[in-house]
Amino acid sequence: MKLNTFPNPEALAEFVAGTMIEQLRQKPDSVICLASGNSPKLTCAEFTEKAKAEGLDTSRFFFVGLDEWVGLEPGTPGSCANDFQTRLFGPLNMATSQYHLFNGLSDDLRQECFKMDEVIRVKGGIDLMIVGIGMNGHIGFNEPGTSWNNRSHVIKLHETTTSVGQKYFQERKTLDQGITLGFAHLLAAKQVILLADGSAKAEVIKAAIEGAPDEDFPATVMQLHPNGIIAVDAAAESLLTPKNS
């Protein structure tokens, strides 16, 4: 795993968007997986703008959604599906055949998980995965204590996730369960970038990088990925122990 630091969120977004562009230049039919939430927002804007400006072929890549809140309509502002629609599918005019998302409204969530795992398998695995980090160290909805061997699964969300998660919604939502890709997918992805900006993320970034790999702090899984990058801005980096101390 590598650590890349950037002076500000804009430079961070430019790097991550640039990595997505390069991935598609090299392999236009790449499989790309992205988190929703605040962290990748600037990245998506930068990516769609640059892709359009340079006439990048975005008609052949396949997108996989990292996770979803169980019980939300896909059109709900703040749902993962809605983020993907407004940030990527709409701006890039993507065909519905170009993406697969978890349906958090399904009455058979186990089947949703099988379907997702099968789609990823048939597509040949994930080329580039871009994730955020939660205030309890989660990635996707892989909460503390989740096995690193999991593929897609349904999970009871921790209190931190359900309370912090209210920030995405205009009115209070009942958030109880999530459906998410697992760390078996992350560890098998060819490249993974975890991005974080802002001082609120400084403590969890420190724990992710300086803590021993431990399922109780999910983001430490990044240390096990041979082609993993933790990409942060100066504020998120601020609590790291200086190299020479």
Which residues in 32-71 contact ligand F6R (CB under 6 A)? 35-39, 66-67
CB of 232 to ligand F6R, least distance (A): 12
Active-site residue flag, 38: no
The catalytic position among 138, 158, 185, 225 is: 138
Say if CB 67 and CB 159 are below 8 A apart: no
Residue among 138, 153, 158, 225 that touches ligand F6R (CB under 6 A): 138
When the beta carbons of 56 and 66 are compared against ligand F6R, the nearer one is 66
Active-site residue flag, 127: no
Distances (CA, A) of 38 to 99, 171, 227: 21, 17, 24
Say if CB 150 and CB 132 are below 8 A apart: no
Residue among 104, 132, 137, 218 that touches ligand F6R (CB under 6 A): 132
Active-site residue flag, 67: yes
The catalytic position among 68, 143, 197, 233 is: 143
Give SS3 for 6.
Answer: strand
Among the candidate windows 98-106, 108-116, 130-138, 229-237, which touches ligand F6R by CB under 6 A? 130-138
The catalytic position among 100, 103, 127, 136 is: 136
Active-site residue flag, 215: no
For the four alpha carbons of 37, 118, 85 and 194, in that order, the dihedral sign comes to positive
Residue of closest CB approach to ligand F6R: 132
d(CA 80, CA 83): 5
Please provide the DSSP assignment of 32-77 as one string.
EEE--SSTTHHHHHHHHHHHHHTT---SS-EEEE-EEETT--TTST
* Binding flags for ligand F6R, 72-111, as an x/- string (CB under 6 A): --------x-------------------------------
Closest CA to 112 of 103, 100, 124, 122: 103
Binding site for ligand F6R (CB under 6 A): 35-39, 66-67, 80, 132-134, 138-140
